[in-house]
Amino acid sequence: MIERKFHSLAEQVAEVLKEGMLSGRWRETLPGRNRLAAELGVSHKTVEAAMRRLAAQGMLVSQGGGQRRRIVLPEGKVIRRKLRVRILTYDRDSRVFPCNLELLDQLRMAGFVADFALKTMADLGTDAGRLARFVKKTPADAWIVAGGSREVLEWFSQQDIAAIALFGRFTGLPIAASCPRIASAMVVAVRRLVALGHHRIVMIAQAERRKPYPALVEQVFLDELEAQGIKTGSYNLPDWEGTPAGLRGCLNTLFQHTPPTAVIFGEPRLFAAAQQHLARSGIHAPRDVSLISSEMDPCLAWCDPAVSCFRWDSAPVIKRVMRWVKGVAAQKREDKRQVLFDGEFVEGGTIGPAPGSGTKILPEGKVSGLSRKSGETSLE
């Protein structure tokens, strides 16, 4: 093997950049001078000199001031390699969520080098600086951010990184997304609870859904309560520590003085843990409190009575992500479409009339003991 000797640092950097372009690490355009200098640990002048060398070889073409240089690869010189995809989850528990596991399986079956990122958003404290350092050190060509907080998705939307939001707080950000649309289902659920005589309705959601301000579905929840004549505040969307002990503490506080008659949970695991904790205190659904889960997790499908939940089909959500990943692999035009799929509220046996309301369930889902206004369930 002949060892090549380099005559300058600029030549070494040029070789690194060339190898990156040939291997597909960089596609279509080369990152800016500042980013490359920081990534390679060299000066801006060294990167600029390396770029001039590659331009002289015809591998880089200037596109004008302020524009990234276009990559031009010699015919037959491209080394094809599999796209590396990393799924960044909110925490370690969410790695086993059915949708995340199904997506990972499909990515691998499609031939991509896919896995969960070594760290989660919770591990990184949703801190932009720590996230930047972690992403920089992680070998990945595309990122799937599952359940991303506003801060995390905002950071990804500002980077020259292929990324798509799977759920999370992406509304209004220039980032691709795939997510079920359950805002209208939330309206139906709230109106149904009010029709059953409920006025003390609480939603338990993780911090990333509450801060720095309520996410879309949580805001729809609060807005619909107001529309139904129910004054809202921190009681309806309480702050709590996102741990099992924190959840139990939150429930103990809620049910100590002014117990809610209905609780909506932002995750199936919160629903399951809360239902068990309340039952140990002699509080059962739907006799004492009505409970709703954000979605139907497979483990909840075994419950009796059936769990009231928001139902949506994961297949089109995953299909959208797969199409986006394949587009990245094919180096197609950047896709930042945010595609949402309809969900619905499914009433199960965990909701019923509010205790002491005098409301009765009549045939075909009708209720008695309410005025027409509070019993209205139309979305029109």
For 276-310, letters b (16+ CB in 10 Å) and e give ebbeeeebebbebbbbbbbbbbeebeebeeebbbb
* pLDDT tens-digit map of 236-295: 999 999 999 999 999 999 999 899 999 999 999 999 999 999 999 999 999 999 999 998
How far is Cα 137 from Cα 287, in angstroms, rounded to an integer? 53
How far is Cα 314 from Cα 311, in angstroms, rounded to an integer? 9
How far is Cα 309 from Cα 258, in angstroms, rounded to an integer? 24
Question: Domain 9-71 falls in which CATH fold?
Answer: Arc Repressor Mutant, subunit A (1.10.10)
Show the tokens assigned to 164.
């798509």
Collapsed DSSP state (helix, strand, coil) of residue 203: strand
Architecture of domain 185-311+350-375: 3-Layer(aba) Sandwich (3.40)
Band (pLDDT 50/70/90 cuts) for residue 358 is: low
Band (pLDDT 50/70/90 cuts) for residue 39 is: confident
Is residue 350 pLDDT above 90, yes or no? yes
How far is Cα 67 from Cα 17, in angstroms, rounded to an integer? 18
Collapsed DSSP state (helix, strand, coil) of residue 204: strand
What are the boundaries of each domain within the chain?
Answer: 9-71, 84-181+314-342, 185-311+350-375
Question: Does 84-181+314-342 match 9-71 at the fold level?
Answer: no
Show the tokens assigned to 180.
């079920």
Is residue 360 pLDDT above 90, yes or no? no
Q: What is the CA radius of gyration of the chain?
A: 26
How far is Cα 6 from Cα 11, in angstroms, rounded to an integer? 6
* pLDDT tens-digit map of 218-241: 999 999 999 999 999 999 999 999
Mean pLDDT taken over the chain: 88
Q: Does domain 84-181+314-342 have CATH number 3.40.50.2300?
A: yes
